Chains A and B, each alone.
Chain A
C-alpha cells in the first residue's frame, strides 16, 4: 500500500511486519523515531508477541539482543554513531557467536568533535567485525532491506546491520510502498534457530577458545560471509517475485554499461550522483554509477565486472580512514585486479556537509580532465585548515582544534571571536 511517511516510521512498520519478538533500544539521534514507533506498536497491542525493553545504554541494548537471540527469539535493535561505538564489544560478540540479530544503524558522524549529522564513519568503524552491512539508497529500500535482513541473518545465523543515512533518510517524508503482512509472511519464514538455549536440550554458549581452534572459528565467520555473497542476489530476486520491485542485492548500476568514468558510492548520495550523471550524459560525457548495496561481504567479483571497462573510477565516500584516505576506495581497489584504470577517492559530506550537484560536477570534471588528486576532500575549506596549521607552527599551546576552527569561522564570517563570551 502506498503511503507518505517518515523514513524511520516506514522502517519501524517494516520491522513490525517481520514479527520481532524482542526489541531493545536506547534512544540516540537520528535513530530514535524508529524504536519509538516500535515501542508505540508494542504498547498499543498492534505488535503482538513482542517484548520492548527500554534499556539503560547501547551496550545493554546489544547485550540484551544477544541474550534474546540466543534464547531463540527474533531480536532487533537500532542505534547510531556513538551508540554503535559504545556497544562495539557486544557487536563483535554477536558476530562471533553467530546470532542473527538485525540492527538499523542511522548513520551519523562520530565525535569528538560531537556532531549529530550524517556520514558513514559509524558503520565503517564496525566493517570488519563479522556483521553483514547493507546500505539503503532511499526509504523504500531501507524498509525493504530490513525484511531481507531478517531472512539473510536467520538463514546464515549471522547478524545484519541495515545502514540508512541519518536525517537524510530517517527524517525524510517520502512515498513508500508498504508491504502487507501476507507478503512478508510469504517471504520470511518463522525463525528456526541454529543454536538455542533450550532447557530440554542444554548447551553452553560463549566458550573460551584457544589457539587450537580460534583460527577455524574466525574462518567460518568469513565463510558465512562468502555464502552471503551467493545468497543475496537470489534473495533480491525472490523479493521481486513477492513484492514486485527491485530492492537490495549486492550492487546497483546506473548508465554504467559503456561508461568510461564510473562513480562508486553508497547510501542516499546515489540520488544526487545519478542526477549529476544524467546532466553530464546530456552533455555527451560517458559516465555511469555503481552503487554498493552490500558493503560487507564485499562483492569483489560483481564490482570487478562492472569496473572492467572503465578508464577511471571515482569513489565518493562519506568516511575517512584517518592516515590513509578512503575506506570504500581501498575496498574498490581489491576489485580492480589487473585493471589499471585511475582510481580517485573523494571524501565528502563528513559531519553532514551537503554534497551538491555543483560540487560533484566540478570534481567529476576534474577527474575526467586528469586534474584530480588521487585523494581529495570535497569542498574542504583550505583557508581555515591552513590557518590552524600555521598557528600550530607558531605556538606550542595552540589549544583545542575544533574550537579554534569555530572561532576562525566566526572571524571569517564577520563575528569577532573576542566579542563572544
Chain B
C-alpha cells in the first residue's frame, strides 16, 4: 500500500480518447516496485490499452492475489474496482464476481508464484471453465516478494542469483492454458510495448478466457547471467511469430500487406483481428499446431511470443451455464419469483 499521492496533473498536450479521458485518467498510485521492474511496464501497457480502447474505468474490475505482480493493480486504473484476494485465489474470486455481474471487464493480474504454484488449481479451473476475463501472468520465474526463490516457471538449469541451478522442470503456463482450452493465448515481453499493448487490447475484446503470459524480468532477483528470465536473455531468445494490428470496424484498413503475410480473425462484434505474420508458416487458429510449434521452439531455447492461439468462435462460462443476459446481481425478486399463478401451472402439469 502506497501513501504517496500522485498529483492529478494533466499535461495540456496529452491527447484525449473518445470519452475525453487522457492516459492520466487510467493511471493509479505511484508504484512501490523496484526501479526497472518489468511489472511497471506491464501496468503502463494496460493503461495504454485501456486508454486506446476508451474503456470506461468504472466498468473494470481488477483482481489479484499475492506477490509483486498482485500489488500492481494499485498502480493502474485508479478509478476502477479492485480486489486484492488471498494467495492464489484470484481466479476463484474473479469467477464468482463474473458470475454475479457479467457486465464488468474482468482483469485478473497474477504472477508465476500466485498462478503456477499455490493457485495452480484455481488458474486451471478458471481457464477450463471459460470465464470471460483477461488473465495476465507477470512471469519472472522467481518469488520476488520473499526475496528470490525459484518459482515453478523457472527453467530447469536456470541459475539463481546466489548461483544455484534449478533442478526441477518448469511449468509452461502457455502450454497449460492451451491444453485447458483457453480460447485466447498469447505470450509477450514486458520490454516489448509495441507487441504487448495490441495483445492486451485484443485480449480485452475477446470473449472467454484470454490468457496472457508476459515475461517480466525481476531486476532485483532474476536479472543476472545464467537466468533465463533476465532482460538480456529474453531479448536474445525472443521469437515473435506475429504482430497484431487490432482493427475495429470503425477504423479504415489502410496498410497494405504482401499476400500470405496476414491472418484475419473475425471477432464476435464484427471487428477484425488482423495478425501480421512474422513467421509465415504460423497458424494462430490451430491449437494443436500451436502446441507442437511451441514445444519444438522451446527445445531450441527460444521464447515464442505473439498471439499464439485464438478461437474466433469462443464462448464463455455464462454461455455454458445458459444464464440470463441481465447481470445476476441486478435481478430482483420480481424477476426471480414468477408468482403463485405460474407455480400453480407448473404443479398442475405434474398432476
Give the B-binding residues of A (Cβ under 8 A).
26-29, 32, 36, 43, 54, 56-58, 82, 86, 111-112, 114, 406, 410, 415, 419-421
Contact = CB atoms under 8 A, between A and B. Distances in A.
Contacts of A56: 117-118, 120, 152
A142 to B, nearest CB: 20
Given A29-B145, A114-B66, A421-B29, 20 more contacts: A26-B117, A26-B118, A28-B146, A32-B147, A36-B147, A43-B164, A54-B149, A54-B150, A54-B168, A56-B117, A56-B118, A57-B88, A57-B117, A57-B118, A58-B118, A86-B118, A114-B84, A406-B1, A415-B5, A420-B5
Given A415-B3, A421-B8, A421-B79, A82 B146 contact: no
Contacts of B152: 56
B78 interface: yes
B242 to A, nearest CB: 33
Contacts of B168: 54
B143 interface: yes
A167 B108 CA distance: 31
B87 interface: yes
| Main SS class of interface, A | loop
A186 B99 CA distance: 61
Given A56-B152, A419-B8, A82 B145 contact: no
Interface string B75-106: 00011000010111000000000000000000
Contacts of B6: 421
A36 B150 CA distance: 12
Contacts of A58: 118
Contacts of A415: 3, 5
B28 interface: yes
A42 to B, nearest CB: 11
A112 B1 CA distance: 14
Task: Choose among B5, B79, B84, B118 the residue with the greatest number of A CB atoms under 10 Å from its CB.
Answer: B118
Contacts of B86: 82, 111-112, 114
B5 A419 contact: yes
B78 to A, nearest CB: 4
A86 B66 CA distance: 14
B5 A32 contact: no
B40 interface: no
B87 A86 contact: yes
A84 to B, nearest CB: 12
Contacts of B164: 43
Contacts of A57: 88, 117-118
26 contacts: A27-B143, A27-B146, A28-B146, A29-B145, A32-B146, A36-B147, A36-B149, A43-B164, A56-B118, A56-B152, A57-B117, A57-B118, A82-B86, A82-B87, A86-B87, A111-B86, A112-B86, A114-B84, A406-B1, A410-B3, A415-B3, A415-B5, A420-B5, A420-B29, A421-B6, A421-B28
B245 interface: no
Contacts of B117: 26, 56-57
Which 10 pairs of residues, A with B, have the shortest CB-CB distance? A27-B146, A421-B78, A57-B118, A56-B117, A32-B146, A27-B149, A419-B5, A420-B5, A27-B143, A421-B6
A94 B129 CA distance: 34
A29 B147 CA distance: 10
Contacts of A421: 6, 8, 27-29, 78-79
